[in-house]
Amino acid sequence: MSESQAEGMTAYAERLVGLAVEYGPFVVGAIVVLIVGLWIANRVAKAVQGVMEAKELTPSIVGFLTNIFRI
């Protein structure tokens, strides 16, 4: 490996680390928001499903509406 290639790889690594430091917290925050949002959607869907089953709605309607709440 020549010296110019080594310098190029070092510059690339420094740029990569800089981008990770700059955007890493945003990516982690987005993943946390996604996980919390999916967790809340599942909780709401289960609650709605329980209410609909207590009202003795048709199972196909219960499943359909429960899936809509999960989306």
DSSP state of 71: -
What is the pLDDT, as a whole number, of residue 8?
79
Give the amino acid at 48.
Answer: V
pLDDT tens digits for 30-52? Answer: 999 999 999 999 999 999 889 98
Average pLDDT in the chain = 89
| Helices and strands, number each (H, E), in the chain | 2, 0
Residue carrying structure tokens 């680390």:
17
